[in-house]
């Protein structure tokens, strides 16, 4: 059972896992179709309703890919952010534990400040904004209600739907149209392709891994470097990519410089 099936990762999970699994996808309001998957719309309201749904579907595993990921909107809509990023994962963990199911929860790479360029699972989180705090709270609640849960901290890129373009697709589309884009060159992160992330996730599941794992590339890159790499890969013009600095931007919400 994939929760958040209309998101970038949810859609990629659906397309990859249906090759070898019977997949049920939970959606909120978005309508998608796939003849090889079971598509269900569900409104998260209370624990008993969720438990009944899980009991009727009878999955062997629940993967939570739902998330309110707009950092700016999370600051403005704190209740919605907490419900989507914290309460729903807690409800899912409770239900997975009750039905003795494997539970995989997708976390974030936004949990740290600027202490370094690469972080391990043992580093102490230092969330800087509402989004990061709600995601960190979810990790704690998931592990407290399901001690065998698998929590994956990551940042991914890859194919995306037209209604929610991934950063990689935004870059490719803009450059294909001849637009100039501005990309930060003083922010580093370690993104991983969705197919590689899903492969690693399922390998962790197969070896019955539990707890928190970082799944990422091994070399930090700036957003500017990432755009240049994509442009080279697709034969797109490099002169349309302009480097800018976070330090020169007016910032109202704190964001980490190294993820």
CA R_g for the chain: 19
Residues 40 and 129 placed together within one structural domain of the fold: yes
Question: What does pTM read for this prediction?
Answer: 0.94
List, for residues 43-102, the tens digit of each pLDDT value.
Answer: 999 999 999 999 999 999 999 999 999 999 999 999 999 999 999 999 999 999 999 999
| In the chain, % of residues over pLDDT 70 | 100
**97 and 153, same domain (yes or no):** yes
Whether 239 is in a domain gets the answer yes
Q: Are residues 87 and 209 in the same domain?
A: yes
Q: What is the pLDDT of residue 20?
A: 94
Do 129 and 18 reside in the same domain of the chain?
yes
In a domain, 37, yes or no: yes
By residue range, what is the domain housing residue 59?
2-158+191-215
Domain for residue 253, yes or no? Answer: no
Please check whether residues 224 and 209 belong to one and the same domain. Answer: no
226 neighbors 201 (Cβ within 8 angstroms): no
3-state SS, 13-41, equals HHHHHCCCCCCEEEECCCCCCCCCCEEEE
Count of domains observed in the chain: 2
Same domain, yes or no, for 181 and 119?
no
Do both 11 and 109 map to the same domain? Answer: yes
pLDDT at 134 over 80: yes
Co-location of 85 and 140 in the same domain = yes
Same domain, 52 and 79: yes
- Asked if the model's pLDDT at residue 248 lies above 80, the reply is no
In a domain, 255, yes or no: no
The pLDDT score that the predictor gives to residue 95 is: 98
Q: What is the band of 28 on the pLDDT scale with cuts at 50, 70, 90?
A: confident
The tens digit of pLDDT for each residue in 169-212 reads: 999 999 999 999 999 998 899 999 999 999 999 999 999 999 99
Read off the pLDDT of residues 146-159 as tens digits, 9 standing for 90 and up: 999 999 999 999 99
In a domain, 21, yes or no: yes
Residue 228 has pLDDT above 80, yes or no: yes
Residue in this structure with the two tokens 């990689």, named with its chain if needed: 168
| Same domain membership, residue 175 and residue 103 | no
Q: How far apart are the C-alpha atoms of 94 and 72, rounded to whole Å?
A: 29
Give the model's pLDDT for residue 249. Answer: 75
Pairing relationship of beta strands 24-27 and 38-41 according to DSSP bridges: parallel
Co-location of 129 and 179 in the same domain? no
Confidence band, pLDDT 50/70/90 cuts, at residue 118: confident
Cβ–Cβ under 8 Å, residues 51 and 98: yes
Which CATH number goes with the domain that contains 109? 3.40.50.720
Is residue 258 included in any domain, yes or no? Answer: no
What whole-number distance in Å separates Cα of residue 20 and Cα of residue 141?
A: 31
Spatial distance between the Cα atoms of 181 and 224, rounded to a whole number of angstroms: 10
As a whole number of angstroms, the distance between CA 104 and CA 106 comes to 7
Same domain, 59 and 101: yes
Task: With respect to residue 256, please indicate whether it lies within any of the assigned structural domains.
Answer: no
Residue 210 lies in a domain: yes
How confident is residue 258, by pLDDT bands cut at 50, 70 and 90?
confident
């Amino acid at each position: 059972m994939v929760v958040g099936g209309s998101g970038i990762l949810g859609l990629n999970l659906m397309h990859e896992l249906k090759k070898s699994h019977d997949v049920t996808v939970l959606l909120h309001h978005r309508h998608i179709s796939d003849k090889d998957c079971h598509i269900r719309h569900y409104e998260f309201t209370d624990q008993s309703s969720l438990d009944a749904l899980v009991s009727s579907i009878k999955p062997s595993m629940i993967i939570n890919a739902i998330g309110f990921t707009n950092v700016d909107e999370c600051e403005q809509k704190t209740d919605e952010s907490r419900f989507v990023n914290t309460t729903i994962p807690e409800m899912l963990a409770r239900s997975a534990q009750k039905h003795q199911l494997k539970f995989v929860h997708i976390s974030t790479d936004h949990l740290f400040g600027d202490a370094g360029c690469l972080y391990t699972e043992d580093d102490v989180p230092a969330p800087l904004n509402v989004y990061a705090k709600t995601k960190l709270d979810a990790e704690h609640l998931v592990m407290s209600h399901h001690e065998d849960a698998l929590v994956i901290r990551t940042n991914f890129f890859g194919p995306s739907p037209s209604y929610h373009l991934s950063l990689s697709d935004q870059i490719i589309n803009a450059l294909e149209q001849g637009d100039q884009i501005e990309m930060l060159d003083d922010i580093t992160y370690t993104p991983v392709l969705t197919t590689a992330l899903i492969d690693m996730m399922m390998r962790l599941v197969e070896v019955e891994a539990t707890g928190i794992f970082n799944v990422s590339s091994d070399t930090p890159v700036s957003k500017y470097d990432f755009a240049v790499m994509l442009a080279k890969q697709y034969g797109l013009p490099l002169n349309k990519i302009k480097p800018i600095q976070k330090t020169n931007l007016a910032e109202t919400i704190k964001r980490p410089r190294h993820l």
